[in-house]
Structure 1
Amino acid sequence: MEPLDQIRLSRRGVFRAGAAVGAGALGSGVLAAGTANAALPASPEFDLGASPHHLFGPKILAETHHAMQGFTFDDVNRRLFIIQAENGGSGSDLVINQVSASGAVLGSMTIKKAGHGVSIAAEPVGDVTYIWVECDTHRNDGDGRGTALARVQFKNIVRESIADEAKFFQGSDTITAAVDPVNKRLMVRRKENGSFYLSVWPLSKAREGKSADRLVHVKQPSYDRTFQGYTFYGQYAYLWYGDGQTNPDNINSTIRTVDLNTGEFTRGPAVTRAGASLTYREPEGMAIHRMDSGELALFFGFASRPSGGGDNRYANLYYKLLE
């Protein structure tokens, strides 16, 4: 079998190769807030009413009894990663699965005492993938949330701890990250003074710990639904809401769009019936990915359960194309 970092994936035109990103110095301090917003250039916006497409699912991941959470794509190396809690773990021990375009698990990395895994971000550096993931949970159980971000190379290993020099935003309250792979930007979502904020940096500045180069810092607008994930492309962030569906006639899985230059909702709320027949269909995770065809896709996930009951949990991915 080929080493994991040399596997190339292809299914239904999902994965597309691109130019490699050069390695930058890894900052070790807190990536602090900058002084002002720099408006993001105008960009296309996904039509939330566009027809959804199905990638895969239901599929069992490495941790058979835990729901999928966030996920991310490495477009350069044609890789997909999905995070979930570890079987038999503390509840905040997280497992990052590398998954094929058909949903087969190719390998996994465990990070102990990490958090919940609402969102992760992949950063390709040559043929290596680094994952931005929460770490240092504030409590070591299922209610734990990360207090810092780590940038770690994906490997098939168990990480009992994360080196201090790999951490950013130490001392945060409920922190996660997402990536715009097209414009090579990192978004950080975390609580500040009791409210969630969305902040954006160029990836090159984020990994070097360049705090003054923040492009965006806006308060996440409130919406009375359970928050389940987010991603962004250009000037727009996409927020994912909803609860576990037990009745296909009572679907509340909803996507909303935020203009990062204003901090206001634009499109939506848009309720999606993708995967409506899934049992206990719970929204989980979002990501942007450029398809093999060159089309840009907004991906969103659902966790589901066996129709006859049982402990197994399944992953399901759907997407909408930029029109």
Structure 2
Amino acid sequence: MNFHTKKKQGKRRLLLSMVLGLTAVSLLPVAASTSLAERPALESKMFVLSGTANELFRDKALHNGTVLQSFAFDNVNQHIYVVQLMAGGQQLPGETAPVSGANRDKNGDLTLTQLDMEGNKLGYMFLKGFGHGVQIGVETVGDKAYLWTETDSVTEGSSGWGTQIARFPFENGKILTPSSPELEKHRLVEGADRTTVNIDAATGQLTMRYRKDGSFRFGVYPLEEVKKGNYTPIADVPQPTVGTFQGFASYGGYLYLLEGNAYGSSGSVAPEGNTYITAVDWKTGEVLDKELMTAGQSLTFREPEGMAIRIPDLRHPHKAELSFGFATNFTPNRWASIYTLDELLPAEAIIHRKRGD
């Protein structure tokens, strides 16, 4: 073992000991290789949705020129993973001819791009037959990033949608299908479809959005229990009424939903648009706040897409950021922009503030 390897491992042990020492914090953090021994409590402060959003990066190219669907952070290794519908006209190994974009959408074929925190491309994967990519998550184990996505796509209308969720390691240039041995699959709710997933790295919780009996719901589970095949949720709430659904993220005791449309469609008029974030209480399913997002108003094309929780410093998981994305620029070269909200307060304080108490 060389000096640099020992130094790196030493830093990781120090980080782990500091994270585990945060017992006074209501959020139990999961660091590079930590697991939860008990179910985390649904406790945390709530993001102030009326705050000013900061730009993480703007107009960054992805592996394909299609619209970004969702993204997730590897807070340990400082990477971002972005998923999008696979571009038409590509012929992958094993295919007899180039496949159109419409058929890629129908088949549920996705492209996954790995970025650094400045939005520069580092790598990619192709995920054939996975779904629509409405939301993804990342779990980090040491230096390894494991993606959580929908899989086993079924065609409905003109698009493919996942019917269960899967975990697999990121491997640059790899092509996966639902039958690939790399996939670890989980069916959390029998009879559900439209399954999409998010990981809350601060508390070690997995959230799944799903449709059952025609209605959308969200369930939150201890991540380590899901990996063991134990699928008992901590909470399960119905999706409140929203506009065009575009993504979700969970942090501690609250669930956040993204909605809206690109300028010029479905009531979205520049510069205000109709991008909203809604905050839902996991304990009650009650909507606590809903605010118009005005970040990125100068973007020429501005379609809200995807949410994720960023933890800039894993030693302080209670200082997180709620991130949301926009697909930008025009066909055939769509780009990605990401913005973040970083103010957290007790829910009661936010409600009082809105009432003017």
Task: Pick the TM interval, shorter chain.
Answer: 0.7 to 0.9
Question: 1:286 aligned to 2:307?
Answer: yes
Q: Deviations over 1:94-126 (max 9, x none)?
A: 111111111111001111011110100101112
The answer (yes or no) to whether the contact 2:40–2:222 under 8 Å persists in 1 is: no
Quickly say closer, same or farther: Cα 1:57–1:70, change in 2 above 3 A. Answer: same
- AA in 1 matched with 2:31: A
> Counterpart of 1:20?
32
Q: Deviations over 1:135-159 (max 9, x none)?
A: 1111298511101111111111111
> Counterpart of 2:167?
151
> Counterpart of 1:242?
260
Alignment of 1:1-323 (within 5 A): 19-22=31-34, 40-64=41-65, 66-88=66-88, 90-91=104-105, 92-139=108-155, 143-156=159-172, 157-163=174-180, 166-169=184-187, 172-212=192-232, 214-223=233-242, 225-246=243-264, 247-268=269-290, 270-292=291-313, 294=316, 295-306=319-330, 310-323=331-344
Q: Deviations over 1:194-231 (max 9, x none)?
A: 1111111111001111123x2011111122x1000000
Question: What is the alpha-carbon distance in structure 2 between the residues aligned to residue 243 and residue 237 of structure 1?
Answer: 21
Question: What is the alpha-carbon distance in structure 2 between the residues aligned to residue 18 and residue 264 of structure 1?
Answer: 27
Question: What is the alpha-carbon distance in structure 2 between the residues aligned to residue 288 and residue 240 of structure 1?
Answer: 13
Question: What is the alpha-carbon distance in structure 1 between the residues aligned to residue 252 and residue 302 of structure 2?
Answer: 29
Question: What is the alpha-carbon distance in structure 2 between the residues aligned to residue 202 and residue 96 of structure 1?
Answer: 25
Give 3-state SS (helix, strand or coil) of 2:226's partner.
Answer: helix
> By how many angstroms is 1:296 displaced?
1.0
Q: Deviations over 1:20-49 (max 9, x none)?
A: 22589xxxxxxxxxxxxx994331000001
Please report the TM-score for the alignment, with normalisation by the length of structure 2: 0.76
Question: What is the alpha-carbon distance in structure 2 between the residues aligned to residue 263 and residue 40 of structure 1?
Answer: 16
Give 3-state SS (helix, strand or coil) of 1:63's partner.
Answer: coil
> By how many angstroms is 1:72 displaced?
0.6
Equivalent pairs: percent with the same residue? 35
- AA in 2 matched with 1:122: V
Question: What is the alpha-carbon distance in structure 2 between the residues aligned to residue 244 and residue 259 of structure 1?
Answer: 28
Give 3-state SS (helix, strand or coil) of 2:47's partner.
Answer: coil
Return 241-250 or 91-100, whichever deviates more.
Answer: 241-250
> Counterpart of 1:14?
none
> Counterpart of 2:349?
none
Unaligned runs of 5+ in 2: 1-7, 9-28, 89-98, 345-357
Question: What is the alpha-carbon distance in structure 1 between the residues aligned to residue 113 and residue 191 of structure 2?
Answer: 27
The answer (yes or no) to whether the contact 1:23–1:126 under 8 Å persists in 2 is: no
Question: What is the alpha-carbon distance in structure 2 between the residues aligned to residue 256 and residue 140 of structure 1?
Answer: 27
> By how many angstroms is 1:81 displaced?
0.5
Q: Deviations over 1:170-210 (max 9, x none)?
A: 76310000111100100011001111111111110011111
The answer (yes or no) to whether the contact 2:245–2:260 under 8 Å persists in 1 is: yes
Return 158-167 or 103-112, whichever deviates more.
Answer: 158-167
Select the structure that is richer in helix: 2
Question: What is the alpha-carbon distance in structure 2 between the residues aligned to residue 85 and residue 195 of structure 1?
Answer: 24
The answer (yes or no) to whether the contact 1:185–1:201 under 8 Å persists in 2 is: yes
Question: What is the alpha-carbon distance in structure 2 between the residues aligned to residue 74 and residue 322 of structure 1?
Answer: 21
The answer (yes or no) to whether the contact 1:23–1:125 under 8 Å persists in 2 is: no
Larger gyration radius, structure 1 or structure 2? 2
> By how many angstroms is 1:80 displaced?
1.0
Unaligned runs of 5+ in 1: 1-5, 7-16, 25-37
The answer (yes or no) to whether the contact 1:39–1:261 under 8 Å persists in 2 is: no
> By how many angstroms is 1:316 displaced?
0.4
Quickly say closer, same or farther: Cα 1:141–1:87, change in 2 above 3 A. Answer: farther
Give 3-state SS (helix, strand or coil) of 1:303's partner.
Answer: strand
Question: What is the alpha-carbon distance in structure 2 between the residues aligned to residue 226 and residue 258 of structure 1?
Answer: 17
> By how many angstroms is 1:248 displaced?
1.7
Question: What is the alpha-carbon distance in structure 1 between the residues aligned to residue 329 and residue 148 of structure 2?
Answer: 28
The answer (yes or no) to whether the contact 1:299–1:318 under 8 Å persists in 2 is: yes
